[in-house]
Homo-oligomer: A and B are copies of this chain.
Amino acid sequence: MTQATTGPGGTDEASPRPGRLSADDWARAGLHLLMTEGRQAVKISRLCSDFGVTKGSFYWHFADFDALMSAIARLYFSRELDAARGLVAVEAMPVEERLETMAAMLVDSRAFEGEAAVREWARADESVAAAVRDLDQRILRVVHEAFVELGFSEPEARVRAGLLVYAGIGFVYGRSALPVPTVDEIHEILALLMRRDG
């Protein structure tokens, strides 16, 4: 069988049998569709025709559509551990560099369509929503901690961290409508938030 199944993910890394698919293959293709064409493009029949198999094949690997979505979520958030590990790496930096790096990450982040798609999807899937909440809280904690280290009081740090993180989340959604801040403007924002009273 020399037929090159024109399906996605042509990563021929010693699959058990030539044409056979794994659950991971389905999840990967589903994640790709989710990222590139949005939530409503993820359909079993679409994946089947992309892979050139029938739906029965899908139902061998997954109980139902939600199971596929959960697998995609696990896949996405296991990659997203990179972002979380990025958070860990960031915590080792000196405070001011740390805040600059985080602000740059919030605004300049990779895969924005992906981020927005996942958050939209989170509204329909509680397990995804929980994962997004965890990530947001973790980011808030790191930013808050940074302001505390800079010498701000608890309430001062809370206000500054909240403003910055909410703005970052808003940026994921609103950037298509509103002007995107430049690097210089990000510097100004941080200078503004790090300024001391009086």
Contacts and interface: CB of A to CB of B under 8 A. Distances in A.
Provide the main secondary structure of the chain A interface.
Answer: helix
Contacts of A123: 38, 116, 120
Contacts of A176: 129, 133
Interface in A144-162: 155-156, 158-160, 162
Interface in A131-172: 132-133, 136-137, 140, 155-156, 158-160, 162-163, 165-172
A1 interface: no
The 4 tightest CB contacts between A and B, nearest first, are: A170-B170, A169-B170, A133-B177, A166-B170
Given A38-B123, A159-B189, A167-B167, 9 more contacts: A129-B176, A132-B177, A136-B177, A137-B177, A155-B188, A159-B185, A169-B170, A170-B173, A173-B173
Interface of A: 38, 40, 116, 119-120, 123-124, 129, 132-133, 136-137, 140, 155-156, 158-160, 162-163, 165-174, 176-179, 181, 185, 188-189, 192-193, 195
